[in-house]
Structure 1
Amino acid sequence: MREWMKKGLAASVGLAVISKERMEKIVREMVKRGEMTPSASKELLENLIARGEQEQEQMDQYLRERMTKLLNEMNISTREDIQRLEQQIRLLEERLSRLETKNSTPVQEEPDQGY
């Protein structure tokens, strides 16, 4: 499944790069044909890139939510689950160590006063 996720993300990034390159090429051609000024083309590209980044972020958020839902459905532990359990284990180990230390210390009896 991890390989599938990597391939999906790589494809997404690849499409974004190709789309950006295509946008730049189209805008350059429009400037060459006189359909757009260089300053207008720059503004258009900035707007298109900003919109693309925004849409990419929305897609990333959707994918994160979807993956979280799938992992929950598959009952797979998350990193947070594992970290929480590790913390609980550390706390229990500390308690056990204190108890062992407390129980291994000999009890000192008071000297018999002969009463």
Structure 2
Amino acid sequence: MRDELRRMALIGSGVAELTKARAEQIVKDLVKKGEVGREQASQVVKDLMERSKDNRKEIAAFVRGEIRSQIESLGLATKRDFERLERRVGRLEEQAKKSAAPKKSAAPKASAKKSTAKKSTAKPASS
């Protein structure tokens, strides 16, 4: 009896995974012991299966939340962070390609030459 109750508690808490065959066996044992009536057996099996499913979902959500919390507290990058950065790098590479492309102008630029000033001699002013 204690073993059956222990197993049901583990199943109820979501620690143990419950198959339909195993749930039927547990209920069958409970019917034999007079813990559950025969007319209730199929409903108890359904209830056990539903509870097991709900508990697995709750445990999975709890674990995901804990993992997310630990990742954030450690400052680790997530897959979403990497994907966002990959998109950003892709956009920046495209911008760099566009700005690095040579521009053709209609007329070639004339090279700038330094102009040199000619020295002139100052003539005395006539009066």
**TM-score higher than 0.5 here?**
yes
Higher helix share: 1
Q: Superposed, which structure 2 residues align to 1:1-115 within 5 Å?
A: 15-17=16-18, 22-32=22-32, 35-37=36-38, 40-101=40-101, 104-109=102-107
RMSD, aligned α-carbons = 2.6
When Rg is computed on C-alpha atoms for both structures, the one with the higher figure is 2
Q: Which residue in the other structure is 1:4 paired with?
A: none
Alpha-carbon separation, structure 2, partners of 1:42 and 1:67: 38
Give structure 2 stretches of 5+ with no counterpart. Answer: 1-13, 109-127
Alpha-carbon separation, structure 1, partners of 2:86 and 2:59: 33
The one-letter code of the counterpart of 1:106 is: K
Judged with a 3 Å threshold, the aligned counterparts in structure 2 of structure 1 residues 40 and 51 are, in CA distance, closer, same or farther, namely same
Q: Across the two proteins, how many residue pairs are aligned to each other? A: 94
Q: TM-score, normalised by structure 1?
A: 0.68
The one-letter code of the counterpart of 1:15 is: A
Alpha-carbon separation, structure 2, partners of 1:51 and 1:69: 27
Alpha-carbon separation, structure 2, partners of 1:23 and 1:85: 48
Q: Once the 2 structures are TM-superposed, how far is the Cα of residue 78 of structure 1 from its aligned partner?
A: 0.2
The one-letter code of the counterpart of 1:24 is: E
Stretches of 4+ aligned residues off by more than 3 angstroms: 20-23, 30-35
Q: Which residue in the other structure is 2:8 paired with?
A: none
Q: Which has the higher contact order (CA 8 A, sep 6+)?
A: 2
Q: Once the 2 structures are TM-superposed, how far is the Cα of residue 73 of structure 1 from its aligned partner?
A: 1.2
The one-letter code of the counterpart of 2:103 is: T
